[in-house]
């Protein structure tokens, strides 16, 4: 019995020793974690002072920006990371040095990135998504137009110090902007018949009102050589594309309507028909961007 009690005491002591060792290791591990976090925080502060305080810009600062998630700005509470800002700045500074041009300011660079972010967010709200296949297809077409992939990569490296992946990132932004302008902002597909005098234009308008085919009348009578053979087709366009005298009536009309009177421009008198409309925001791009920027909360950390 005594031996059994002795064995139990030894087992308890062993368990206590193990428990004590375990506690000591957990205590040390906590201290190691705290030390690592403290060193990390000190490192972040040091580089933060270099970036935001002294505004240093070199390869070490770029590396720090890629290592730590520093924000360059907050747009409606969402961070725009410094990595994106420095990536763009590096391209434009190198391009400016190669072409002997004055580089844009940090404010101008950040303005561009803020614009891109607002466009992407608004496009996403409208259901626009850019697939990687679309980016790849656009890149291949650009390469084809510019003498092949090898040639365009050579130009990108020589003028911007830019890699293929970086260029595709920019292509994606431009596709977002193009689709935003053509699908989100209101666009119209219109036709016109241009005549030399108001009386001639009124005669054409009467023929249209009586049911004669607009496109055939344009082919027969229009003085605009660039659209005459296409039945007066101006194609799809957004605001601020054509003179106000031509564009204004086209945007007032619903799809299928003809403007009730000829519109005078410096080129002549126009009979105008709107074939189709698309988009939901009836502003030109600058009006939309100005209004969106005003109602957005933007906190800049670099300028």
pLDDT 10s digits, 255-266:
999 999 999 999
Please check the confidence at residue 35 and state whether its pLDDT lies above 80. Answer: no
**What pLDDT score does 69 carry?**
72
Residue 238 pLDDT exceeds 90: yes
- Helix/strand/coil (H/E/C) assignment for every residue in the chain: CHHHHHHHHHHHHHHHHHHHHHHHHHHHHHHHHHHHHHHHHHHHHHHHHHHHHCCCCCHHHHHHHHHCCCEEEEECCEEEEHHHHHHHHHHHHHHHHHHCCCCCCHHHHHHHHHHHHHHHHHHHHCCCCCCHHHHHHHHHHHHHHCCCHHHHHHHHHHHHCCCHHHHHHHHHHHHHHHHHHHHHECEEEEEEEEECCHHHHHHHHHHHHCCCCHHHHHHHHCCCHHHHCCCCEEEEECCCCCCHHHHHHHHHCCCCCECCCCEEECCEEEEEEEEEEECCECCCHHHHHHHHHHHCCEEECCC
Domain 187-278 matching CATH 3.30.950.10: the answer reads no
The pLDDT assigned to 227 comes to: 97
Question: Given a cut of 70, is residue 68 above it in pLDDT?
Answer: no
pLDDT at position 93, please? 86
What is the predicted pLDDT for the residue at 59?
A: 56
Kindly report the average pLDDT of the chain as a whole number: 84
- pLDDT, one tens digit per residue, over 133-159 is 999 999 999 999 989 999 999 999 998
Q: What is the mean pLDDT of residues 83-89?
A: 88
Burial environment of residue 52 by CB neighbours within 10 A (0 to 12, 13 to 18, 19 or more): middle
Q: Assess contact for 100 and 106: CB atoms under 8 A.
A: no
Which pLDDT score, from 0 to 100, does residue 128 have? 95
Q: Say what the pLDDT of residue 51 is.
A: 46
The predicted model gives 279-300 an average pLDDT of: 94
Domain borders along the chain are 1-56, 86-184, 187-278
C-alpha 221/C-alpha 271 separation (Å) is 11
Cα–Cα distance measured from residue 1 to residue 84, given in angstroms and rounded to the nearest whole number: 76
| Mean pLDDT of the 3-32 span | 51
Q: Looking at the predicted structure, is the pLDDT value of residue 248 above 60?
A: yes
- Of residues 51 and 266, the one with the higher pLDDT is 266
Query: Which stretch of 9-18, 38-47, 242-251, 285-294 has the lowest confidence by average pLDDT?
Result: 38-47
- How far apart CA 33 and CA 138 sit, in angstroms, is 48
Same fold yes or no, 86-184 and 187-278: no
Architecture of the domain made up of 86-184: Orthogonal Bundle (1.10)
């Amino acid at each position: 019995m005594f031996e059994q009690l002795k064995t139990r005491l030894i087992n308890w002591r062993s368990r206590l020793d193990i428990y004590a060792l375990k506690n000591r290791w957990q205590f040390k591990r906590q201290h190691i974690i705290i030390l690592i976090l403290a060193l990390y925080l000190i490192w972040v502060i040091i580089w933060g002072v270099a970036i935001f305080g002294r505004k240093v810009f070199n390869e070490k600062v770029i590396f720090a920006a890629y290592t730590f998630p520093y924000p360059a700005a907050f747009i409606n509470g969402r961070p725009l990371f410094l990595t994106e800002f420095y990536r763009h700045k590096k391209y434009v500074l190198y391009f400016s040095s190669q072409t002997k041009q004055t580089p844009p300011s940090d404010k101008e660079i950040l303005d561009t990135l803020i614009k891109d972010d607002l466009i992407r967010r608004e496009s996403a709200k409208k259901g626009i998504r850019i697939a990687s296949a679309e980016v790849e297809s656009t890149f291949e077409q650009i390469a084809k137009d510019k003498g092949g992939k090898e040639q365009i990569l050579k130009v990108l490296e020589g003028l911007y110090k830019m890699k293929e992946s970086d260029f595709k990132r920019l292509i994606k932004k431009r596709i977002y902007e193009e689709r935003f302008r053509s699908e989100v902002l209101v666009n119209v597909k219109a036709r016109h018949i241009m005549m030399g005098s108001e009386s001639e234009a009124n005669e054409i308008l009467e023929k249209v009102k009586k049911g004669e085919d607009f496109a055939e009348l344009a082919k027969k009578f229009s003085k605009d050589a660039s659209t005459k053979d296409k039945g007066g087709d101006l194609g799809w366009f957004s605001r601020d594309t054509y003179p106000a005298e031509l564009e204004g009536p086209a945007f007032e009309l619903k799809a299928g309507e003809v403007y009730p009177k000829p519109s005078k421009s410096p080129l002549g008198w126009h009979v105008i028909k709107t074939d189709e409309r698309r988009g939901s925001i009836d502003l030109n791009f600058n009006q939309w961007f100005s209004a969106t920027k005003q109602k957005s909360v933007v906190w800049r950390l670099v300028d």
